[in-house]
Amino acid sequence: MTAGCDVLGELLEIPNPAREQAAKDAEGRAVGSACRHAGRSLEDCYALNPSSEKAAVFTGWRDMNDYMMEHKLDTVPSRLVPGAQQQATPGTAASPGDATAPAQ
């Protein structure tokens, strides 16, 4: 029965604060986990993602830290150069050390 209420609420575009909060929390946890996996500090993660809720980012960062420590995983640093993806020509992937990549 309650599933029908959710569908009806979506059809009528009635805001659901609980669902919106759950989505924000999940997004923040994902951001925090990704930051930790990439080896970023918590403070850098906050600075790079100002729209994410700090508590959720911290929870995701801490959970990933615990998981990485338990399984003895190394960080996977990001290889993307900010702005390089937009400047690369279509159909080619430019890497930071690529001589054909546009200079920044």
Domain boundaries, the chain: 26-77
Whether the model pTM is above 0.75: no
**Which residues in the chain land under pLDDT 50?**
94-104
Q: What is the model's pLDDT at position 33?
A: 97
Token representation of residue 31: 């951001």
Question: Whose structure tokens read 């923040």?
Answer: 28
> Could you tell me where the beta strands, DSSP code E, fall in the chain?
none
Q: Can you tell me the distance from the alpha carbon of 96 to that of 104, in angstroms, rounded to the nearest whole number?
A: 10
Kindly report the number of other CB atoms within 10 A of residue 42's CB atom.
16
Q: What is the model's pLDDT at position 59?
A: 98
Between 17-37 and 54-71, two packed helices, what is the crossing angle to 10 degrees?
40
Residue type, 77: P
